[in-house]
Amino acid sequence: MADPVVVPPLTIADLTQAKLDGTGAFDTLMRAASIHVQLEFDKNRIKGQDYAQVYLTAMQYVLQNSVVFLLQKDEAANKANLVGAQIRLTETQILLAQKQLEQEEFKKELIAAQVEKTKAETINVVQELENLKAQECLLKAQYDLTMVQKLQTTAQTSLVQQKIATEKAQTVETGVDDNSVIGRQKLLYKAQTDGFQRDAEQKAAKILIDTWNVRRTTDEGTVADGVNQLYDANIGRVVTKVLAGVNA
């Protein structure tokens, strides 16, 4: 099974190194945009009075798409990890199913052996009955045979009751040992559900905090208002929710 993809935390350096030859996403895309704008200017397709407007517009879209690119890169890695986890879960379920199948085959072999043993015992009883001439011995042998059948019926009843309990455990939460196969499956499904919820909360917190950091760093005039909902109080509530989700 493939190892999970390690996703390092995003930093401002991933976006820009604040220099023309930087290796950040913004630096690289901005260099390409500048070349194209300069080419259009040199060919006189952009007039001098429009050059600044075109350049600022290009810078705005490059910054926006640089942020989107970095966020989507992490999202793709997280999706890959999720698919890997689902594959590992499926493989585990297949192994469990194979074990259950092996158990059923073993049960069939055991029952077949018990049937053969019963047949042999019956033959022995018949042979003994043929050898017994007294009516008293014949009645005793019949009584013993009846007792064997009663034990078999009791054993079958117990097996049916166990099967009923097993089938009931498929739909009823109580009455299942956590260490049983069904109990472990239920615990696994619950842990997976909780993990999805924690992951969603952490993604939401990361998007808010990263967006604020990028905008605030690149434009000190950016403010938190009722439109972007980036108040410290809002961010604080998200962080509090994340900490509660990981029991911190």
Instruction: Give the model confidence (pLDDT) of 82-111 as tens digits.
Output: 777 777 788 888 888 888 888 899 898 989
More confident residue, 67 or 202: 67
Q: pLDDT at residue 215 above 80?
A: no
Highest mean pLDDT among 32-46, 155-169, 224-238: 32-46
Domain boundaries, the chain: 1-74, 177-248
DSSP string of the chain?
A: -PPPPP-PPP-HHHH--SSTT--SHHHHHHHHHHHHHHHHHHTTSS-HHHHHHHHHHHHHHHHHHHHHHHHHHHHHHHHHHHHHHHHHHHHHHHHHHHHHHHHHHHHHHHHHHHHHHHHHHHHHHHHHHHH--SHHHHHHHHHHHHHHHHHHHHHHHHHHHHHHHHHHHTT-STT--TTSHHHHHHHHHHHHHHHHHHHHHHHHHHHHHHHHHHHHHH-TT----TTTT--HHHHHHHHHHHHHHTT-
Q: Can you give the pLDDT at residue 240? A: 84
Distance in angstroms (rounded) separating the CA atoms of residues 171 and 164: 12
Using CB atoms within 10 A of its CB, is residue 48 exposed (0-12), middle (13-18) or buried (19+)? Answer: exposed
* pTM of structure: 0.29
pLDDT digits (tens, 9 = 90+) for 15-70: 787 788 887 888 888 888 888 888 888 888 887 778 888 888 988 989 898 889 88
More confident residue, 6 or 223: 223
Q: Can you give the pLDDT at residue 175? A: 60
